Structure 1
Amino acid sequence: MNIKVNDKEFELNFGIGFLRELDKVAGVDVQGISMGMALTRTLPALKGWDMLALINALYCATHADNPRPSYDDVANAVGSQTDKQIEKLFTDVLAELKKSPVVRFSVNKLTQN
Structure 2
Amino acid sequence: MKLKINGNYYELNFGISFINSLDHELGVSVDGNRTDLIGLQNAVPGLATYDPSVLATVIYCAIDKAVSKDIVNKYLENDADLDNLFVDVVKAMSDSKLVNFQLKRITGKTMNEIVKITPSKKSITSKK
TM-score (norm 2): 0.76
Can you list the C-alpha shifts for 1:1-60, whole angstroms capped at 9, x where unaligned? 112222211100000100111111111223143242111111111010000000000000
Q: Structure 2: which 5+ residue stretches go unaligned?
A: 104-108, 117-128
Would the aligned equivalents of 2:27 and 2:34 in 1 still touch at CA under 8 Å?
Answer: no
Residue 101 of structure 2 is aligned to residue 98 of structure 1: no
What amino acid maps onto 1:2 in structure 2?
K
The one of 68, 82, 91 equivalent to 1:86 is: 82
- Cross-structure match for 2:61: 60
**Deviation at residue 78 of structure 1 after TM alignment:** 1.3
Q: Distance in 1 between matches of 2:36 and 2:85?
A: 28
What SS does the corresponding residue of 2:29 show, helix, strand or coil?
A: strand
What SS does the corresponding residue of 2:79 show, helix, strand or coil?
A: coil
The number of aligned residues is: 108
**Deviation at residue 112 of structure 1 after TM alignment:** 6.9
What amino acid maps onto 2:51 in structure 1?
D
Identity across the alignment (%): 31
RMSD over aligned CA atoms reads 2.0
- 1:112–1:6 distance in 2 versus 1, CA, 3 Å: closer
